[in-house]
A and B are shown apart, each in its own frame.
Chain A
Amino acid sequence: MILLAALVLGLAVGLGMARLRGQPYQLPDLRHLWLVFLAFLPQFAILYIPALREQVPDRWAGIFLTASQAFLLGFAWLNRKLPGMMALLVGAALNFLVMTANGGFMPINPQTASRLVPQEVLEEIPIGSRFGLKDILLDPQDTRFEILADRFLPPAWSSYQVAFSLGDVFLAVGVFWLLIQPSKNSTEPKRILI
C-alpha cells in the first residue's frame, strides 16, 4: 500500500508540476515493459490468488519469488538511465539480497510483527512460518542481513501500521522521483511493450 501511495503521489505531483509549467505531462520513457508482465504475473498468481497460494509449497513460492525479482531487477537495470530508476534499482537489489538470503521471503521479527496483528494471533504463528504475503517470521539472531529486513514501522499512534524495509524506502523514493521528472527525450515517440 505504501508503495502504491508513493506511485499515486508521484503521478499527482508530476501532473501538477506539468500543469504549472504549462506543458503536457510526459511519462517516463520505460523500455522492455514486457519484462515486468512476465516477471510479475506468476508472482501475482502465487501470492494473491488464495487457491494457488494454498497449493504452492513455501519452498517453491520462495523460488518463484526469487526468480520473479531477478527479472524485475533486470528491468530496472535496462532502464537505469531514467531519473529515479537508480533508487528503484538499489531498493530492488536490497530487498532481493535479504530475501534470497532468507529462503526467498522477507524476514520480520516477532516484535515488529506484534504491531501488525493481535498478540493472540501472533502466538499461533510458529517462528520460521510465512507471515503476510512475502514475509517470514524469524528471530533477529536467525536472520541474515537483519538490517535489510522489514524492521521499520510508522509511529505507534498511526492508525495504519505497516512494516517496511530499507529497500522499500528506496523504492518509494525512486517511483516518486521517476514520476515527477519530465521525460528528457519527449520528442521521441514512446515505445510500449518493446
Chain B
Amino acid sequence: MKNKINSLVLSVSKINREHIQVFLVVLSLAMFVLGVGAPDDGGYGSR
C-alpha cells in the first residue's frame, strides 16, 4: 500500500513537472514573439 502511494505521488509529481516545463517553454516563446514582434491590428487606438 505504501509502495502504491509512493508510486502514485511520484507519477503525479512527474506529470506536474512535465506540465510546468511545457507551460514555461510555451509561455516564454509567447512572451518572446510578443516582445520582439510588432504587428498592429489597431485594437488599442492611439494615446
Contact = CB atoms under 8 A, between A and B. Distances in A.
Interface of A: 1-4, 6-7, 11, 27-28, 30, 33, 36-37, 39-40, 43-44, 53-54, 58, 68-69, 72-73, 75-76, 88, 91-92, 95-96, 99, 106, 108, 113, 116-117, 121, 124-125, 129-135, 137, 150, 160-165, 167-168, 171-172, 175, 178-179, 190, 192-193
Interface size class of B (residues with CB under 8 A): 20 to 34
Contacts of A108: 40
A160 B41 contact: yes
Nearest to A24: B18
A178 B44 contact: no
Contact of B41 (A68, A91, A125, A132): A132
Given A95-B37, A168-B38, A7 B24 contact: no
Contact of A4 (B33, B38, B45): B33
B31 A117 contact: no
A167 B36 CA distance: 9
Main SS at interface, chain A: helix
Nearest to A32: B28
Contacts of A44: 31
Contact of B39 (A39, A129, A150, A178): A150
